[in-house]
Amino acid sequence: MTQLLNADLHCHSVVSDGTLTPEALAERAKGNGVELWALTDHDEIGGLQRARDAAKSQGMGYLTGAEISVTFLHQTVHVVGLGFDADNTDLREGLRRTRGGRQERAMEMADGLAKVGIKDAYEGALKFVGNPELISRTHFARFLVESGVCKETNEVFRKYLTEGKPGYVPHRWALLKDAIHWITGAGGMAIIAHPARYKFTPNEEFALFTEFKGHGGQGVEVVTGSHSVAEFGIYAHTAKEFGLAASRGSDFHSPDESHTELGTLPPLPAGLTPVWELLSARIQ
């Protein structure tokens, strides 16, 4: 399969912190010319059957997907899994455990916000939640925009939901090793999501890629809605350096919030192995 295939292998539905249903996402992806699509909800595969059915009725190639939250060197790192068997017990159990604790974390976030005068944020965020097991910072951000505290979600993250800010609660997610093993044990490929978003030193980033490879990780997102054009080039180089396949995905969440539309990113830089080449047997 070619480098130029319009693959969009990263987006979110109402099953995590997106605002569209799996069906609406599939329709939107198809409308934008996507040929191979994956829904990658955070820590959750509850939308995949609907996503598969919708992709098939739209005539798009489809891969199973999820984006797993991991803690590595005190930071949150996201690992995208593609092409796994969604019925795999270890994977399902691992994701269930990773989701656990989100509700408690959300109540602590609301306590933090209450201390700076923002009342009832837990109840407010819940109004935006499509899946009670998957309350995320994004849902708090939507509530704070709706209630007029901030103009847009980006501003909420900057002022309230990132480290050192009143609504931020440190959290321990899955181990890198476990997330990779859940994915590969279910026959899928583990991919480091949007590496430019992390605030690692060069040494720490080297450790991330080295450990990721060592545990059986095979891919890295190079062309993503979270990277600048310069970062496409930087991580194309990293992919080659570590012998990783390259992925492409918008990370689309919502028509109102996402700056990158489904299926509209540039193609992968030349000289990289696209993840879909290695996953061709897993495409449905």
Minimum CB separation from ligand AMP for residue 138, in Å? 4
CA distances from 30 to 8, 46, 57, 221, 251 (A): 10, 21, 10, 21, 16
Instruction: Give the residue with the Cβ less far from ligand AMP, 42 or 248.
Output: 42
55: amino acid identity, one letter: A
| Interaction residues for Mn ion, span 4-23 (CB under 5 A) | 17
Q: Give residues with Cβ within 8 angstroms of 176, minimum separation 6.
A: 70, 72, 77, 79, 208, 211, 212, 215
Q: Is 64 in the site for ligand AMP (CB under 6 A)?
A: no
Q: Is 157 in the site for ligand AMP (CB under 6 A)?
A: yes
Tokens of 155: 């501003």
Query: Strands, E, within 22-146: which ranges?
Result: 36-37, 61-62, 65-72, 75-82
Of 88-96, 168-176, 198-206, 245-253, the segment contacting Mn ion by CB under 5 A is 245-253
Residue 153 binds which entry of Mn ion, ligand AMP, none, CB below 5-8 Å type-dependent = ligand AMP
Q: Is 209 in the site for ligand AMP (CB under 6 A)?
A: no
Minimum CB separation from ligand AMP for residue 141, in Å? 6
Angle 97-103-107 (CA atoms, 0-180°, nearest 5)? 145
Site size toward Mn ion (CB under 5 A) is 5
Minimum CB separation from Mn ion for residue 271, in Å? 26
Of 44-52, 152-160, 206-214, 263-271, the segment contacting ligand AMP by CB under 6 A is 152-160
**Residues facing 65 on adjacent strands:** 82
CA distances from 87 to 23, 48, 184, 274, 278 (A): 21, 11, 13, 26, 21
Minimum CB separation from ligand AMP for residue 99, in Å? 10
Instruction: Give the residue with the Cβ less far from ligand AMP, 137 or 248.
Output: 137
Q: Is 17 in the site for ligand AMP (CB under 6 A)?
A: yes
Residue 28 binds which entry of Mn ion, ligand AMP, none, CB below 5-8 Å type-dependent = none
- Is 11 within 8 Å of 252 (Cβ atoms)? yes
- Is 101 within 8 Å of 74 (Cβ atoms)? no
Q: Which of 13, 19, 40, 69 binds ligand AMP (CB under 6 A)?
A: 69
